[in-house]
Amino acid sequence: DAGVTQSPTHLIKTRGQQVTLRCSPKSGHDTVSWYQQALGQGPQFIFQYYEEEERQRGNFPDRFSGHQFPNYSSELNVNALLLGDSALYLCASSSPKQVDYGYTFGSGTRLTVV
Amino acid sequence: AQRVTQPEKLLSVFKGAPVELKCNYSYSGSPELFWYVQYSRQRLQLLLRHISRESIKGFTADLNKGETSFHLKKPFAQEEDSAMYYCALSGPGAQKLVFGQGTRLTINP
């Protein structure tokens, strides 16, 4: 089991551009959450997808949007990139159906906005 | 408001010494508490959760609801314990995780 896989691993974008990050959850998991981790900070919750719908959302602007596909994989889209969007973006999968659920994290996508 | 505070950004102890990483939280209700660890060049991984009440790699954490704390402890530190440690909480039902800022633990030989 490959666990949670994220692509790409690194990305450099120019201010004002748009970016799409991808996540495949761990086998058996149906819920995907996205987190932003700025340098020296703990991860901050962006949003969570379950059954192809956004179930919870953190304090992030509408420039951040997402999608979940029928195979449970997910995308995070960020429009009109700002320098402050530079961060490590983490995907975590889970399944609330499991009695002892847990969150499994991917290695992240390092986004640099220049 | 949901908040997790880890007062120490850096913690350095000698091998064999006891370790305590502090974590305080703010939450209305009964949260689930976690400790996550990130070793060098590895992904964030779950170390332990309070409802399991188990010891992982010699670490334990007791939930103190009166003091709203969930400190992580290990009686004898080992060099391989050097890592970044994050305390986190969530509401019931696989809700979002709220993380602290993290504590970088360094074990000196």
Closest Cβ–Cβ partner in B43, B93, B100 for A42: B100
Contacts of A30 (CB under 8 A, 6+ apart): A50, A51, A72, A95, A97
Strand partners, B87: B35
Give the mean pLDDT of B71-86.
Answer: 96
Q: Which of residues 60-89 of A touch B (CB under 8 A)?
A: none
Q: Which residue of B has its CA nearest to A101?
A: B94
Closest Cβ–Cβ partner in B86, B94, B102 for A94: B94
Q: Which of A23, A11, A30 is nearest to A75 (CA)?
A: A23
pLDDT surpassing 90 at residue B83:
yes
Q: How far is A7 from chain B (nearest CA, A)?
A: 14
% chain A with pLDDT above 70: 94
Q: Which residue of B has its CA nearest to A43?
A: B99
pLDDT surpassing 60 at residue B76:
yes
B49 alpha-carbon distance from chain centroid? 9
Residues of B whose CB is below 8 A from A102: 46, 49
Tokens linked to A67? 């999608």
Query: Mean of the per-residue pLDDT values for chain B?
Result: 92
Percentages helix, strand, coil for chain A, rounded to the nearest 5?
5, 50, 45
Q: Which of residues 42-61 of A touch B (CB under 8 A)?
A: 42-45, 48, 56, 58
CB atoms within 10 A of CB B73: 15
pLDDT band at A99 (very low <50, low <70, confident <90, very high): low
Note whether A43 contacts B97, CB cutoff 8 Å: yes
Contacts of B83 (CB under 8 A, 6+ apart): B37, B38, B39, B40, B104, B105
Residues of B whose CB is below 8 A from A96: 93-94
pLDDT in tens, A40-55: 899 999 999 999 999 9
Strand partners, B13: B107
3-state secondary structure B22-39: CCEEECCCCCEEEEEEEC
Residues of A whose CB is below 8 A from B52: 100
Note whether B44 contacts A90, CB cutoff 8 Å: yes
Contacts of B25 (CB under 8 A, 6+ apart): B2, B3, B4, B5, B31, B33, B68, B69, B70, B87, B89
Strand, helix or coil at A50? strand
Q: Which residue of A has its CA nearest to B52?
A: A100
Q: Quick one: DSSP state of residue B64?
A: B
A29/A109 Cα distance (integer angstroms)? 20
Task: Yes or no: say if B72 and B87 are a contact pair by the CB < 8 Å rule.
Answer: yes
Residues of B whose CB is below 8 A from A101: 94
Closest Cβ–Cβ partner in A33, A44, A105 for B45: A105
Q: How far is CA B36 from CA A107, B62, B82, in A?
A: 14, 15, 13
pLDDT band at A109 (very low <50, low <70, confident <90, very high): very high
